[in-house]
Structure 1
Amino acid sequence: MRAPAFWDAGPEHPAARALAPFAALYGRRSAARMDRPGAAGPCPILCVGNFTLGGAGKTPTALALAELLRGLGAAPAFLTRGYGGHLAGPVRVDPDRHGSVETGDEPLLLARHAPTIVARDRVAGARLCVAHGADVIVMDDGLQNPALAKDLSLAVVDAGAGVGNGHVFPAGPLRVPLARQWGHVHGLVLVGAGAAGEAVAEDALRRGLPVHRARLVPGGDWTGRRVLAFAGIGRPEKMFATLREAGAEVAGTRAFADHHSYTRAEIAALAAEAASFGAELVTTHKDHVRLPPDFSARVAVLPVTLEFREAGSLLAQLAKALGRP
């Protein structure tokens, strides 16, 4: 879905106020579900989630955590529901055999870095992670899912967006009332810079929670490259801004809904528009895996990695979760 504009407006926006009764009902139900006790995992469970609907940088954060865990001598595997895919699992993702229609887009990216299990039944998925050699599980999303007890839960916040207008869906982007979510979180990962994110960070610090500051770093040389950028992610404008900051000449941009399935007509229109601009097409890794192979070969990818400003406190949290001094 594409987030409505009023989610980023003030909390007193008329649309938010009109939807408040529905948000209250949704919030009570989702909070009660989140508070249920979870089953103990077969190994430490580290959850990378977010407070809101849509993208915040969870997948790059999960990848960065896996690298830190390897540095601690652990063998991580990723566990994900596989949003947008039809496979219920549990199944290990094979990028050479599976496509985004089957697994969703994020699992295909994760599977290039570590064993990745798609499972709607998180407990069964955790067992399969261990069967494939994992001694620690990194859950990409699942903060609000109570099936498994988590040893460490990190909430990822895009500093440019924060928590939107602070209301629960459908009046705002929150999945569960924020006050109810803090009790399930052990730390905050703040990605980028922005006043909205700083407000959330201040809230975390008041609660005695560590704030791990990070940024997304683009890969490749984009200086002077004329591009038509398109993306179907939580915040497409973030990708467009990253390209500009990397030195690309952005001739045009096209934003689609998160996890958008591109039609042949849309693909043809993108190709024609890029040709009219004398530009090359560029998109995100998540979008690239959703494109037909005959078209994806003609589209460049903007790779990004998440870098932590200071990883010391995060490494201490990871070691504690692993039961290591």
Structure 2
Amino acid sequence: MKFKKPNFWDYKKPNLFAYILLPFAYIIKLINFISKKEKIITEKIKTICIGNIYLGGTGKTPITIKINQILNKLNFKTAFVKKKYHDQEDEQKMLSSYGKLFCKNNRINALKDAINEYIDVAIFDDGLQDKIFDYNITFVCFNAQTWIGNSFCIPSGPLREDLKSIKKYDAVFLNGNGENTIEIEDVLKNIKPDLKIFNAEYMPLNIKELDINQNYLAFSGIGNPDTFLKTLKKNNFKIIKTINFPDHYKYSNRDITKIKETAKNLKAKIVTTEKDYYRLNKLNTEGIDFLKIELKITNENQLINFLNKKL
């Protein structure tokens, strides 16, 4: 699915379009409420779900990878679990490069495979809205910059669930580039006073391999391209041209040729995200750099204690 979120979703206040679509948002809420299922309790394996209630671009995949790394250091045998979507092969390839991945057309079968291989902890990348599982730990990821957009639910806004649904989840990650999150934390604490809140900041891992003294054309097809650009600029990249594609966009040879021609005319180098680079697959990637990032958790020791206590 080629999805590019409407600009009005991220307005601080809902506009006319948001209000026009509001009846459809209520219908979707009602359908979700009616379609509640009996939960599956898994005793043979521990489960963690990292998801979001804001559609796209919240940093859940980097957080999934980070939690996997932490649990490995704590001697847990872990694996990623993900529902298979043909337009999300980039995330699947990225996860499999960091650990064992079980990816099936439904999450139940993927989890069964993890159980059969005696995995201690299954880490779900996405799946908060899959009501069939009774996860041991649930994390909700937010982008500190976009937060909850106009605060309305799909299709009036970017939310999969009302913000008040945060009550049923265990913890929150506020991911970003050092934004002040005090106001956001206050809002969350008013909804659920005992909610665990963790902060994380995007940190480049391969910046020494890139020449930041050169001009760059930056392109991406991700849920929140503004965060990628902000990370580049924060690390002194000279971005003279940006090209944004829909989330999970499947690039063609024509796209890459056009990007390279544009960069050549501008006398600029090319940079994209790690996730986009995986999506280029067998296309000609010569001359295309990617920024490898991780989310550095500022209160990581608190997270480790939280994981140990819950698992």
Normalised TM-score (structure 1): 0.88
Q: Closer, same or farther in 2 for the Cα pair 1:10/1:129, shift >3 Å?
A: same
Between the aligned residues of both structures, percent identity stands at: 26
* Corresponding position of 2:151: 166
| Gapped regions of structure 2 (runs ≥ 5) | none
Runs of 4+ in 1 over 4 A off after TM superposition: none
Cα deviation per residue 1:153-188 (whole Å; 9 max; x = unaligned)? 000110000011111100000112222x21331011
After superposition, where does 1:223-262 map in structure 2 within 5 Å? 223-262=212-251
Range with greater deviation from structure 2 (153-162 or 37-46): 37-46
1:149-164 alignment to 2 at 5 Å? Answer: 149-164=134-149
Give the Å deviation of 1:104. 1.6
Give the CA deviation at 1:116. 0.4
* In 2, Cα distance between equivalents of 1:36 and 1:57: 28
TM-score computed with the length of structure 2 as normaliser: 0.92
2:280 to 272, 291, 305: 291
* Among candidates 288, 291, 311, match of residue 302 of structure 1: 291
SS for the counterpart of 2:155 is coil
The alpha carbon displacement at 1:250 in A equals 1.1
Question: Which residue of 93, 114, 122 corresponds with 1:129?
Answer: 114
- Aligned-pair Cα RMSD in Å: 1.7
- Residue identity matched to 2:203: V
Secondary structure of the equivalent of 1:104? helix
The AA in structure 1 aligned to 2:273 is T
- The answer for the alignment partner of 2:260 in structure 1 is 271
Matched position secondary structure for 2:284 = helix
CA distance in 2, matches of 1:131, 1:6: 46
1:32 deviates by 4.2
CA distance in structure 2 between the aligned counterparts of 1:291 and 1:118, rounded to whole angstroms? 20
Aligned partner of 2:200 among 201, 211, 214: 214
Instruction: Give distance in 2, aligned partners of 1:251 and 1:269.
Output: 16
1:185 and 1:124 map into 2 onto residues whose CA distance is 24
Relative to structure 1, the CA distance from residue 292 to residue 125 in structure 2 (aligned partners, 3 Å threshold; closer, same or farther) is: closer
Residue 205 (1) aligns with residue 181 (2): no
Bigger mean CA offset, 183-192 vs 201-210: 201-210
In structure 1, C-alpha distance between the alignment counterparts of 2:142 and 2:33, rounded to whole Å: 19
Aligned to 1:43: 45
State the alpha-carbon separation in 2 of the partners of residues 37 and 52 from structure 1.
24
Check conservation: 2:83, 2:110, Cα contact below 8 A: no
* SS of alignment partner, residue 55 of structure 2: coil
Q: Is 2:1 the counterpart of 1:15?
A: no
Cα distance in structure 2, aligned partners of 1:248 and 1:314? 32
Deviation at 1:27, TM superposition (A): 1.7
